[in-house]
Amino acid sequence: MVAHATATDAVGRASKLVWPQRPRAWSAGRAQRRAVVAYVVALLIWQLGSTSPRWLGYPLPWISHVPTPGSVAVAWARLVSDPGYWRSWGASFVRVLVGFSAAVVTGVPLGLLMALSRPVRAVVFPVFELLRPIPPLAWVPAAIIFWPTQELSIDFVIFIGAFYTMVLNALGGADGIDPRLIQVARSMGASRWNIFHRLVLRAVVPSILVGMEVGIGITWEVVVAAEMISGGGSGTSTASGGGLGFFIWNSYVGGSYPQIVVGMASIGIAGFLSSAALRLAAARFTRWTAAR
């Protein structure tokens, strides 16, 4: 738990430790206002940077190559009415969901199995550790060969992205259970099955939820590489519904730079939404950790 805690709430908590804060009420409203200000400032920097040749006389490095917010907005406005763009959203969401669910459904049991059984851990863990450093991208050719359909190949690459995190978090969570809790449960007459489903399965929930939050982020990172497999699905138009990852690649090939940014921002939003949904769910399931 400790090792993984950084992802969820540690940012807020750690900052309180590092920066002694003035004793002032910190309301949710204030935090939201600050978030809005941050978005506005970021947009402003983007606008100034991308138009620097005009107002500064020479292009600022890197940022001046970025399409202006205006051009991106125009491209986006056009795409909003394009059903192909929304099909891409749908396609990517389905792939992320399938790959991610598969990673949770297989990764959590494998992690728990390794935590509970020494022989299983001794056999599986070395192989696991050897496979883990292989980046999801490197699995793309193998995935194409392995799986009968294009869609399954994409799902598989996404699955690889989240799988290791899920296994490690389930394993770490189960390893981190206070042995005294197990002793006390056994001395109160709990059977092995009781200990598994009343203790282990409950105690690992926070660390599995953290794993899911990290994992779903990785799946959105992987989606671009995975969707290069697809080659766009049906048509050749820039918004044919091949998925958001493919959409970006295709916009690059087609030379439509504002659309690249639209695609990037879309993935950002999609990832943000999935993480937020997971966090909401996590807060419901782990009310007991709030007070610790």
Partner 1 sequence: MMTAPIVWKSSARRLPASEVRRGAIQIVDATKFYGSGASRVLAVDRCSLDVRAGEIFVIVGPSGCGKTTLLNAIAGFHELDGGTIHLDGKLLCGPRQRARLGSDRVVVFQNGALFPWKTILDNVAFGPIVQGTLRRADALAKAGQMLADAGLRGYERSYPGETSSGVKRRVEIVRALMNRPAVLLLDEPFRALDALTKSVMHEALLAIHARNRGTALFITHDVEEAVFLGGRVAVMTSRPCRLKKILDVDIPYPRARSIVTSKRFRDLVAETTSVVHEEALKAHALGEKEG
Among residues 6, 32, 47, 183, which is the contact residue for partner 1, using CB under 8 A? Answer: 183
> Judged by CB under 8 A, does residue 187 bind partner 1?
yes
> Judged by CB under 8 A, does residue 129 bind partner 1?
no
The least CB distance from residue 186 to partner 1, in Å, is 5
- CA torsion sign, 22 to 28 to 31 to 33? negative
Q: Using DSSP, how many helices (H) and how many strands (E) does the chain show?
A: 14, 0
How many residues interact with partner 1 (rule CB under 8 A)? 25
Using the rule CB under 8 A, give the single segment among 11-19, 23-31, 149-157, 193-201 that binds partner 1. 193-201
C-alpha 90/C-alpha 232 separation (Å) is 14
The least CB distance from residue 196 to partner 1, in Å, is 12
> Judged by CB under 8 A, does residue 18 bind partner 1?
no
Dump strand ranges (E) for the chain. none
Instruction: Give me the residue label for tokens 């749908």.
Output: 90
DSSP tag of 139: G
The least CB distance from residue 2 to partner 1, in Å, is 14
Of 210 and 262, the one with the shorter C-beta distance to partner 1 is 210
Of 24 and 180, the one with the shorter C-beta distance to partner 1 is 180
> Judged by CB under 8 A, does residue 34 bind partner 1?
no
Of 21 and 191, the one with the shorter C-beta distance to partner 1 is 191
DSSP 15-49: HHHHSPPPS----HHHHHHHHHHHHHHHHHHHHHH
> Judged by CB under 8 A, does residue 13 bind partner 1?
no
Using the rule CB under 8 A, give the single segment among 116-124, 154-162, 179-187, 264-272 that binds partner 1. 179-187
What phi, psi does 131 have (nearest 5°)?
A: -80, -30
C-alpha 30/C-alpha 108 separation (Å) is 38
- CA torsion sign, 27 to 29 to 31 to 33? negative
C-alpha 62/C-alpha 79 separation (Å) is 26
Among residues 80, 198, 235, 272, which is the contact residue for partner 1, using CB under 8 A? Answer: 198
Q: Which residues bind partner 1 (CB under 8 A)?
A: 178, 180-181, 183-191, 194, 198-199, 202-203, 205, 286-292
